């Protein structure tokens, strides 16, 4: 399992390149990818809260990863669950990012 949002959150909090990290992943070992939203605290720290829409930067990493090798995707949304139409919109975006 590879969590794209965790890569992004960690890269921002610890100041490293998420793209460089992703480039070193052995995708032959990735069976599933997770994407989720996060929350930015007032001090700039990002928390992997799974309660917001997926951020544009995470979508970009997701698309980059999918180009390396296709994989099943799990959209995580654990709190502040949106209306069904909004959740489905995120799922349709995941499909669009794969194109």
**What is the tens place of the pLDDT at every residue in 19-28?**
999 999 999 9
The neighbour count for residue 3, using CB atoms within 10 Å, is 17
| Per-position DSSP letters for 63-84, written without gaps between them | HHHHHHS---EEEE--SSPPPH
CATH topology of domain 2-97: TIM Barrel (3.20.20)
pTM: 0.89
* 44-72: pLDDT as tens digits: 999 999 999 999 999 999 999 999 988 99
Q: Which helix (H) or strand (E) holds 39?
A: strand 39-40
């Amino acid at each position: 399992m590879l969590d794209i949002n965790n890569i992004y959150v960690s890269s921002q909090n610890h100041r490293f390149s998420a793209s460089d990290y992703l480039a070193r992943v052995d995708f032959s070992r990735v069976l599933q990818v997770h994407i989720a939203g996060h929350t930015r605290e007032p001090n700039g720290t990002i928390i992997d809260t799974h309660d917001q829409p997926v951020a544009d930067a995470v979508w970009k990493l997701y698309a980059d990863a999918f180009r390396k090798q296709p994989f099943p995707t799990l959209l995580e949304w654990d709190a502040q669950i949106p209306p069904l139409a909004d959740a489905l919109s995120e799922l349709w975006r995941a499909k669009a990012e794969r194109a």
